[in-house]
Chains A and B, each alone.
Chain A
């Protein structure tokens, strides 16, 4: 029983890692640009397919494939900012509809390029870090955990310690005041979109060998990310990370001891309860409604 609990805990840490990478990107984009990027799950999917194309089909080394995938998805983010979100800045539902349109385009490109079927990716490594006989952490999962820690720490440093980070946070807090201080809102939006998309991309690329890669995989990712950003408080990066960890633990444990559908119901119910009791989320500030 203790071993089962420990193993489930490890699985939850892994889930928390990739969920927080996706959710933090979504929060960053929402914070700086004020748009809900419904295509964020498909950016995750694009990262996974980059690994399918480069690593599984063209035999590029895995980490090179991941790096290229991350950059590629970041560029997709820039494309979205330029083509969709910037022209639709003053249209509250516009960004939402446009991102749904972009989602459909990415999905059907994946279907046309790779087929509807699940992709098989040869495992990167079979090694497992063993704690006891029954408790172990596959190294492929460890990569995801390490990536989450490294990238999120780097993002934290970037936001709190660099001039660009200051500008980014300023324009998230009050775009007009930031613009008056000489901060280019377009520039900060571009940076936020690139970082946000690239984080989703790297999460997708690293988890590709561990999950079933298919054109519709983004759906469950975006639902999870929404739950997490609502529970954590829309616009709060720290909240998103803490909520990712909490959600991952609840979901993994309910899945292990009962079943996956029930875990989804529990997760959504938690989100509804937070919305009813404290709509600004557990860590959100009251003014950003």
Chain B
């Protein structure tokens, strides 16, 4: 009963949310929703213990793929979005062969190199990727009506609802994966790799699986963004964007499912709304950088550790939970 109440109130709040915002804030809201999917998919990857610097480029692969499918092959937009995600996942499987020969710091740098190569290929080859300027005039999501609501995708509010539904569905899938035996194996691959291997777990296969799933959802997020913005270019997926994703995950904390989402929401609101409203346009990266440093110095377990403190005080701490962290 209580869960149902929370669900209903949450849904109403999410549906009502854009009406309290200005037009530009509504646009930021759309990006925020897409970025939540991006950062949550990134967390699935980090479950196996690998930190990638190529995730944003993988998102770009989904964006480019979906844009090209609609433009060159005339595929219906929602279908091409899913195909964009599939393409990103398949590319991840391909990339896993060279990349998973590395671990830790070397994987970090290797994934960065692989991502940069893909990005430079978009930049270098005008056919079919459009070179430095990228692809513009990407088909928007066609308008449709579901009876009670008319979707008009020139309005950010409509796209917010559309992307919101897709993102929530994706988050639910990611959540189920994490709680399934497969997800538990991901944890084992990270924390007990020797033991897992000795128990007959194929480490490489599970790391590849996590990489492919994470990349698939990142690609879907990229496709959602491409058909909203209408253009894609190599620079919108460069390392600076990756840095943002990395900080959302680290500032939020990656021990819980909601940690990266929390980091993404808090930092986006802070960066896009609070600092903009205060008129600190030029100093934004400076303040953002300072917040990154302060949070890693004084809140090393992320924002989620604050939430955990509050919720733990209410319910008695479980001993095995302490042992796990």
Interface residues of A (CB under 8 A from B): 36, 83-84, 87-88, 91, 93-94, 97-98, 100-105, 107-109, 111-112, 219, 223, 226-227, 230, 234, 259, 261-262, 264-265, 268-269, 271-272, 275-276, 279, 289
Contacts and interface: CB of A to CB of B under 8 A. Distances in A.
A105 B16 CA distance: 37
B286 A109 contact: yes
Closest 6 CB pairs of A and B: A104-B289, A101-B292, A101-B293, A108-B285, A108-B286, A101-B289
Contacts of A272: 98, 110, 113-114, 117
Contacts of B116: 223, 264, 268
Interface residues of B, number: 37
A90 B200 CA distance: 33
A57 to B, nearest CB: 20
Interface of B: 51, 98, 101-102, 104-106, 109-110, 112-114, 116-117, 120-121, 123-124, 239, 243, 246-247, 250, 282-286, 288-293, 296-297, 300
B303 to A, nearest CB: 14
- What's the dominant secondary structure at chain B's contact region? helix
Contact of A87 (B102, B105, B113, B297): B297
A214 to B, nearest CB: 15
Contact of B101 (A88, A100, A101, A276): A276
Contact of A226 (B109, B117, B284, B296): B109
Contacts of A112: 282-283, 286
Contacts of B293: 83-84, 97-98, 101-102, 105
Given A112-B283, A272-B113, 4 more contacts: A91-B300, A97-B247, A105-B285, A227-B113
B286 A276 contact: no
Nearest to A99: B293
13 contacts: A94-B297, A97-B293, A100-B289, A101-B290, A105-B285, A105-B289, A105-B290, A109-B286, A264-B120, A268-B116, A268-B120, A269-B117, A271-B109
B297 A271 contact: no
A250 B207 CA distance: 34
Contacts of A105: 285-286, 289-290, 293
A87 B293 CA distance: 11
A265 B114 CA distance: 10
Contacts of A226: 109, 112
B283 A108 contact: yes
B264 to A, nearest CB: 15
B124 A265 contact: yes
Contacts of A103: 289
Contact of A265 (B120, B284, B297): B120
A88 B296 contact: yes
Nearest to B123: A261
B197 to A, nearest CB: 18
Contacts of B114: 272
Contacts of B112: 226
A97 B105 contact: no
Given A100-B247, A101-B292, A268-B117, A275 B109 contact: yes
A101 B291 CA distance: 8
A237 to B, nearest CB: 18
A265 B123 CA distance: 10
Contacts of A102: 289, 293
Contacts of A100: 243, 246-247, 289, 292
A108 B285 CA distance: 6
A265 B119 CA distance: 9
A97 B250 contact: yes
A226 B53 CA distance: 13
Given A219-B239, A265-B124, A275-B102, A93 B289 contact: no
Most buried by B among A111, A272, A289: A272
Nearest to A39: B289
Given A104-B286, A111-B282, A94 B123 contact: no
B186 to A, nearest CB: 19
B152 to A, nearest CB: 37
Contacts of A271: 109, 113
Contact of B297 (A88, A104, A268): A88
Given A97-B247, A275-B102, A275-B110, A104 B124 contact: no
A265 B117 CA distance: 6
A98 B297 contact: yes
Given A105-B290, A272-B114, A275-B106, A94 B283 contact: no
A279 B300 contact: no
A91 B283 contact: no
A259 to B, nearest CB: 8
Contacts of A275: 98, 101-102, 106, 109-110, 113
A112 B283 CA distance: 8
Given A111-B282, A272-B98, A98 B292 contact: yes
Contacts of B288: 101, 104
